């Protein structure tokens, strides 16, 4: 079935450095969602990408959907301690049975 | 506006005991879901509901039952708890089904369940 693979699994950065997490699929995705989960918290919706090659920005966060709709990325510019958490990409094309990536855990050293 | 509320927040059970987790949403969402989250496993869908009176199996339904008697409530039951059901459980709701363009999930704060 459809699966999404996220890399890296963990990332430690120094505050102010950039961070990127990647989401890859072997099959074409109809769309993809990104969620953030703070330690001890619940997932919070960040964005949904639908169109091939789509790029969306939210302040320091940039989300991209690949031209072939088989991959996506989340890039954070100049990380802050508030960015700490786990970022999940979610395959939103599987008829209500969302398939979640395993997430990328981001740690930011102040 | 509370959003999605889960009760209880923590629970410890002995093997074989039963319990019910309650999820309530006040956003008039048609779709509700129960997920479990285990370290290194991401979120896995247990059961879901597309409307009042309807439920369906997700990815890992065994050992769980659900009911959606009222639109705003979605109950998750464990009839005979097992240590393998130790996990964090999240309820979520959405306005629309996937593919409709408005299917972002709103999550409750979670229930930490330990089965000894």
Q: How many CA atoms lie within 13 A of A81 on its CB side?
A: 2
Number of structural domains chain A divides into: 1
Tens of pLDDT, residue by residue over B16-46, are: 999 999 999 999 999 999 999 998 778 999 9
Pair B83, B15: CB distance under 8 Å:
yes
Q: CA–CA distance from A110 to each of A101, A103, B4, B50, B65 (Å)?
A: 27, 22, 33, 44, 45
Taking the Cβ of residue A24 and every Cβ of chain B, the question of whether any pair is shorter than 8 Å is answered with: no
Q: For residues A15 and A78, give the distance between their C-alpha atoms in angstroms, rounded to a whole number.
A: 7
CATH code, A15: 2.60.40.10
CA distance A43 to chain B (A): 7
CA distance A78 to chain B (A): 27
Contact list, B104 vs chain A (CB under 8 Å)? 33, 45, 48
Tens of pLDDT along chain A (110 residues)?
557 899 999 999 999 999 999 999 988 888 899 999 999 999 999 999 999 999 999 999 999 999 999 999 999 999 999 999 999 999 876 555 678 899 999 999 99
**Among all chains, which residue has been given the structure tokens 């510019």?**
A77
Q: For residues A45 and A61, give the distance between their C-alpha atoms in angstroms, rounded to a whole number.
A: 13
Contact list, A87 vs chain B (CB under 8 Å)? none
Which residues constitute the domain of residue A13? 5-109
CATH homologous superfamily, domain B4-115 = Immunoglobulins (2.60.40.10)
The domain segmentation of chain B, as residue ranges, is 4-115
Using CA of residue A61, residue A69, residue B40, residue B16, what is the dihedral sign? positive
């Amino acid at each position: 079935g459809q699966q999404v693979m996220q890399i890296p699994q963990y990332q430690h950065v120094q505050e102010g450095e950039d961070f990127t997490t990647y989401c890859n699929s072997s099959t074409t995705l109809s769309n993809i969602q990104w969620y953030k989960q703070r330690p001890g918290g619940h997932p919070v919706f960040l964005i949904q990408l639908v169109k091939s090659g789509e790029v969306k920005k939210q302040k320091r966060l940039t989300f991209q959907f690949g031209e072939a709709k088989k991959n996506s990325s989340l890039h954070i510019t100049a990380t802050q301690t508030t960015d700490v958490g786990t970022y999940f990409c979610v395959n939103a094309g599987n008829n209500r049975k969302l398939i979640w990536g395993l997430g990328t855990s981001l740690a930011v050293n102040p | 506006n509370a959003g999605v509320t889960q009760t209880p927040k923590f629970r410890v059970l002995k093997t074989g005991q039963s319990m019910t987790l309650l999820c309530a949403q006040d956003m008039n969402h048609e779709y509700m879901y129960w997920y479990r989250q285990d370290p290194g496993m991401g979120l896995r869908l247990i059961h879901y509901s597309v409307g009042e009176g309807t439920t369906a199996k997700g990815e890992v339904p065994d050992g769980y039952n659900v009911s959606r008697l009222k639109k705003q409530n979605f109950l998750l039951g464990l009839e005979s708890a097992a240590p393998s059901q130790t996990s964090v459980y999240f309820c979520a709701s959405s306005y629309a089904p996937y593919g409709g363009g408005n299917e972002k999930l709103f999550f409750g704060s979670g229930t930490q369940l330990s089965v000894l």
